[in-house]
A = this chain, B = another copy of it.
């Protein structure tokens, strides 16, 4: 079995690669023997994998690239590659080129390969809760319409539609999963408008200050990086027949306020850690966050076996175990 990960150098891509390399049987008793890692920056080869690993530095949207990747006839493709929300908004053409054209060229390459010789790979496509845009109900249900308020969300929603149609036509066997906001993101603070949700946990846990630009009653929708990898593995191995024609779904997450997040930090790091959060209201970020989804009813994904954290304590614990060696310094 040949596994292709597109977007392998990103945070989730690296974690997925490491997990798969450490335990190939996660994809079934047969495991897999070939792994192709692709990204616009060179992906690292994972440790401890006995099969063939190929790394490719490529832009999926460049002419011919998708065809080359598909020529290797991977059985399972994780399509995680995307220009993130902020950049897709700042650079309209680049966002459409990477997020829409890149995705469509991948699906088209698969279709053309399937016409040449029977082929129907499983595709796991990471979509986003950005396909939804305010106003929405308190809980967004499985039947709620997509009305994105960003170009990124638009591109993800179009990717979902293409995935469904190409699956319906039998060219590929796709599932699109709308990830919650991933928290705690490891690494340095970034400039994403959502970055503060992670910053205010990650930085104080190692004795550094973090800025909170919104009020503590802001509610949002979260899952840990560990849960995200679990979602991808489940999507890669589950029976897709129960999806019917609806190939995309909102995944479980934790709906919590910033205040609840801070109390979880307090239980682990004490008042000292919480004191490192500096409240500096930012009207621009506040405005962006006000348009984001806060809570979901994900009955469909739950009935299909997807699981996420139930509390911020679990999310913080996952971060401490996976990123900080299991303990926080006093």
Show the binding face of A for B, using Cβ within 8 Å.
92, 111, 133, 143-149, 151, 154, 157-158, 161-162, 164-165, 168-169, 245-246
A133–B154 CA distance with the chains assembled, in angstroms? 20
Tell me the complex Cα distance, A21–B148, Å.
38
In contact, B169 and A148 (Cβ under 8 angstroms)? no
Interchain CB contact under 8 A, B157 and A161 = yes
> Per a CB cutoff under 8 Å, which of B143, B148, B245 touches A165?
B148
Instruction: Give the distance to chain B from A194, nearest Cβ to Cβ, in Å.
Output: 20
Task: Give how many copies assemble into the complex.
Answer: 2
Contact B161 A154 (CB under 8 A): yes
Closest to A149 in B: B245
Given the known inter-chain contacts A133-B245, A245-B133, please indicate yes or no for A154 contacting B146, CB distance below 8 A.
Answer: no
How far apart are the CA atoms of A146 and B154 in the complex, in Å? 14
Closest 3 CB pairs of A and B: A154-B165, A145-B145, A154-B161
Check B169 against A162 for contact (C-beta < 8 Å): no
Asked if A161 contacts B145 (CB within 8 A), the reply is no
Contact A169 B145 (CB under 8 A): no
Contacts of A92 in B (CB 8 A): 111, 169
